Amino acid sequence: MGQHITIIYANEKLEIDNKIPHFYENGHLIIPYNNETRDAVEELQKICKEGMTLDELFNFYIDTAYILNKDKISFLEEYKGLNNDLNDLEDIALVEFLKLLKLPDFTVLSYDDLAGDYILNFENFIYKNSDIEYYKLNISMDKAYLYKYQGCKNHCLKEMKARRKK
């Protein structure tokens, strides 16, 4: 059985809203994203051009993906009132989720041990994938819960609960 997952990771020193499910592992902030099929990351990688800002990517995606939606503003409004339930974020489009995170520097990894990886790197909100160094993984995928979304989600919720008790 193939192992696949999509995660967003960044330096653990970056602050993130506690409403966003996340945990810390070996110096990294890790945010699981429910994309078992890799489609979202592959789609964004096709759209992204070197130097494109996250805002430009977001606007391009919204303009093309929701071209038939005359009221794009109301569509996006539904994501403003997020609470602490991970389920609220499971169906949000990846580009919308990335914009919601407000992380300047991060990597999106769609890991698949059979089909290979898709990696999106952003530095200061700008897409930076042309340098071969950016294709290297800066995170070790050596924990069983990092292989599938459900395991990562369960670990994330356990870690968040433990942080709240402190």
Q: pLDDT truncated to tens, each residue of the chain (166 aa)?
A: 457 788 899 988 887 877 788 899 888 999 988 866 677 888 888 888 888 999 998 888 877 765 544 554 444 454 444 444 445 566 678 888 888 888 999 999 887 777 667 888 999 999 987 665 655 667 777 888 888 888 888 898 898 888 888 7
Q: In the chain, what is the greatest distance between 2 CA atoms, to the nearest angstrom?
A: 47
Q: Whole-model pTM?
A: 0.79
Distance of CA 36 to the CA centre of its chain: 12
pLDDT the model gives residue 80: 47
List of residues 6+ apart from 145 with CB closer than 8 A: 151, 152, 154, 155
Q: Which domain covers residue 23, as residue numbers?
A: 4-165
3-state helix, strand, coil in the chain (%, to 5): 40, 20, 40
3-state secondary structure of 29: strand
Domains of the chain: total: 1
Amino acid at site 102? K
